Amino acid sequence: SLPLGERIVAAFGGAVERRSVRAVDQVDLSLRKGEALGLVGESGCGKTTLGRMIAGILPPSDGALAIAGEPVMTCGASPRKTTTRVQMVFQDPFASLDPRMRIGDALAEGPIHHGLVSKAGAVAYVRDWLGQVGLEPDYVSRYPHQFSGGQRQRVAIARALAMRPDVLVCDEPVASLDVSIQAQIINLFLKLRRELDLTLLFISHDLGVVRHLCDRVAIMYLGRIVEEGPTHEVYADPRHPYTQALLDSVPKLVLEEGAEVRFKPIQGELPSPLAPPPGCHFHLRCPFAAERCAVERPTLRPVATGRRAACHFAKTDLNIITGSSSSPA
């Protein structure tokens, strides 16, 4: 409902990788300014590919990205041209830092190149960004090996933010860190969101982290978005059987006395994206699959205000005629 000028819109028809795998298929997502959207799914579902396309690292075979109504990437354009407006933080902070480069130089390089700061002002600029992410400003003269894993991830976040991006794409940024350090980095994201009005696409397989950090969540399965909506609503009342299965597969930490541990792994395995099943991609693993599911692809359609789901039988609160009265989710 917001005017386009306040939104970041990504619509990608497909990403062609080796052997023509369609890793991302007909995805369209929009992010409001200042919003955090969690992108969740199993390993291999296409979420990293989608994040890399939005960040301009991987060219889509079809699609476009618009920020505040202005197209910043379309199919065929050089993806590198878009990277200053969308920055990415990777899972492995070690790999994203040049071991031979002092942190001060690594953080100043991009902003100087793109005219965000002068050479004379670069040291003060970098010191300020280190402070923003909770590091000592004097660390400008250190090398990556002199930092712990958590500190390196803070450096990687500072380097991305120093480019003053419109959108920050974070691909599993805490997955390689110890649990106690994970909490510190999540709290850092919460602080940065508050103070900088960050617009965040947060890619994760961890439903708990996404619940903590994100306003909205999009669930991805085999290259497609299957459910999307406000995080607390989707978690409390999932409308797609895959979302329900994902939520059921998480061990619950807090149990009422005498309660049974509910931990139901999702049946079957994620099919190969080289040969995705026809119809609904989830039908081979879905406990509610009907005949039409094997042949007819469900579209991602509104099921409640601000919510969409791609299931023929998804329960809807809206006055929409659906294909069946049965309601698996």
Q: Which of 28, 78, 72 lies closest to 58 in space, CA to CA?
A: 78
What's the min distance (Å) between Cβ of 317 and ligand SF4? 17
Q: For ligand SF4, which stretch binds (CB under 6 A), given 105-113, 147-155, 177-185, 276-284?
A: 276-284
Residue type, 289: A
What's the min distance (Å) between Cβ of 305 and ligand SF4? 21
- Under the binding rule (CB under 6 A), the answer on residue 286 touching ligand SF4 is yes
Beta strand ranges found along 138-223 (DSSP E):
167-171, 200-204, 216-221
Cα dihedral sign, 159-163-164-167:
negative
SS3 37: strand
- Under the binding rule (CB under 6 A), the answer on residue 280 touching ligand SF4 is yes
Strand order in the sheet with 224-230: 86-89, 167-171, 200-204, 36-40, 216-221, 224-230, 307-309, 301-304
Do 293 and 283 contact (CB within 8 A), yes or no? Answer: yes
Among 55, 96, 298, 303, binds ligand SF4 (CB under 6 A): 298
Instruction: Output the DSSP codes for 62-106.
Output: EEEEEETTEEEEETTS-GGGGTTTEEEE-S-TTTTS-TTS-HHHH
Among 46, 144, 241, 273, binds ligand SF4 (CB under 6 A): 241
Q: For ligand SF4, which stretch binds (CB under 6 A), given 36-44, 59-67, 255-263, 305-313?
A: 305-313
What's the min distance (Å) between Cβ of 221 and ligand SF4? 9
Name which of 241 and 273 has its Cβ closer to ligand SF4: 241
Cα dihedral sign, 183-175-253-211:
positive
Q: How far apart are CA 239 and CA 225, in angstroms?
A: 13
What per-residue string of b and e applies to 226-242 under the rule 16 or more CB within 10 Å gives b? bbbbbbebbbebbbbbb
Name which of 261 and 275 has its Cβ closer to ligand SF4: 275
- Under the binding rule (CB under 6 A), the answer on residue 225 touching ligand SF4 is no
Q: For ligand SF4, which stretch binds (CB under 6 A), given 19-27, 183-191, 194-202, 290-298?
A: 290-298
Strands 62-67 and 70-74: antiparallel
- Under the binding rule (CB under 6 A), the answer on residue 150 touching ligand SF4 is no
Residues within window 86-145 making contact with ligand SF4, judged by CB under 6 A:
none
Structure tokens at 270: 């994620």
- Under the binding rule (CB under 6 A), the answer on residue 238 touching ligand SF4 is no
Q: For ligand SF4, which stretch binds (CB under 6 A), given 74-82, 130-138, 187-195, 308-316?
A: 308-316
- CB-based contacts of 113: which residues, under 8 Å, 6+ apart? none
Site string for ligand SF4, 159-178 (x = CB under 6 A): --------------------
Name which of 141 and 299 has its Cβ closer to ligand SF4: 299
What's the min distance (Å) between Cβ of 143 and ligand SF4? 50
Strands 167-171 and 200-204: parallel
- Under the binding rule (CB under 6 A), the answer on residue 266 touching ligand SF4 is no
- Under the binding rule (CB under 6 A), the answer on residue 45 touching ligand SF4 is no
- Under the binding rule (CB under 6 A), the answer on residue 188 touching ligand SF4 is no
Name which of 90 and 282 has its Cβ closer to ligand SF4: 282
What's the min distance (Å) between Cβ of 253 and ligand SF4? 28
Among 35, 282, 303, 308, binds ligand SF4 (CB under 6 A): 282
Report the interface residues with ligand SF4, using CB under 6 A: 240-241, 280, 282-283, 286, 288-290, 293, 298, 311-313, 328
